[in-house]
Amino acid sequence: MAALSEPATLLFHPEKQLLEVIWLGPVSSAALRATYRRVLTYVARHPIRRLLFDVRQRNRADWEDEKWVSREFIPRLPKLLAGSGPRLACLLLPALYDALLPESPDGTMTTESELLSLAYFTDRHQALAWLEQPE
């Protein structure tokens, strides 16, 4: 198997103010964190209001990396996103979605906030429909 030069592909859709982050395979902790930093840099330089993270090909982050994302990435993101009503959707494999579902307080796998709304999906079309909803 050839080594990937980038652990994720970033696709910007300017007409939708949408950035897709498509993970290409399993990654190390260092590559995961570097990619999230790359996303923050990209978001800071472009008018982005919506993000779609497709993590179906990536390994699940370990506990330390999950804490890092929640402490270092998520808090910085709303300040960088353009406009109001920023949204982040994550595409998960069905098995991971089902494993996380019991942790969802209301069973919707969605958290709505003025700063940043976050939702998890297994279907790309459903994720895009949620992202494109008006504020």
For 8-18, the pLDDT digits (tens) are 999 999 999 99
Alpha-carbon distance 91 to 22, whole Å?
A: 9
Q: How far is CA 9 from CA 22, 23, 35, 42, 106, in A?
A: 5, 6, 9, 12, 32
Please, what's the largest Cα pairwise distance for the chain? Answer: 44
**CATH architecture of structural domain 8-131:** 2-Layer Sandwich (3.30)
pLDDT in tens, 45-75: 999 999 999 999 998 899 999 999 999 999 9
- Mean pLDDT on 94-121: 89
Burial of 117 (0-12, 13-18, 19+ CB in 10 A): buried
Confidence grade of residue 1 (pLDDT, cut at 50, 70, 90): very low
Per the CB < 8 A criterion, the answer to whether 92 and 23 are in contact is no
Tell me, rounded to whole angstroms, the distance of Cα 17 from its chain centroid. Answer: 14
Residue listed under structure tokens 């990435």: 73
pLDDT at 118: 93
- Higher-confidence residue: 114 or 34? 34
Pick the closest to residue 60 from 24, 30, 96 (CA basis).
Answer: 96
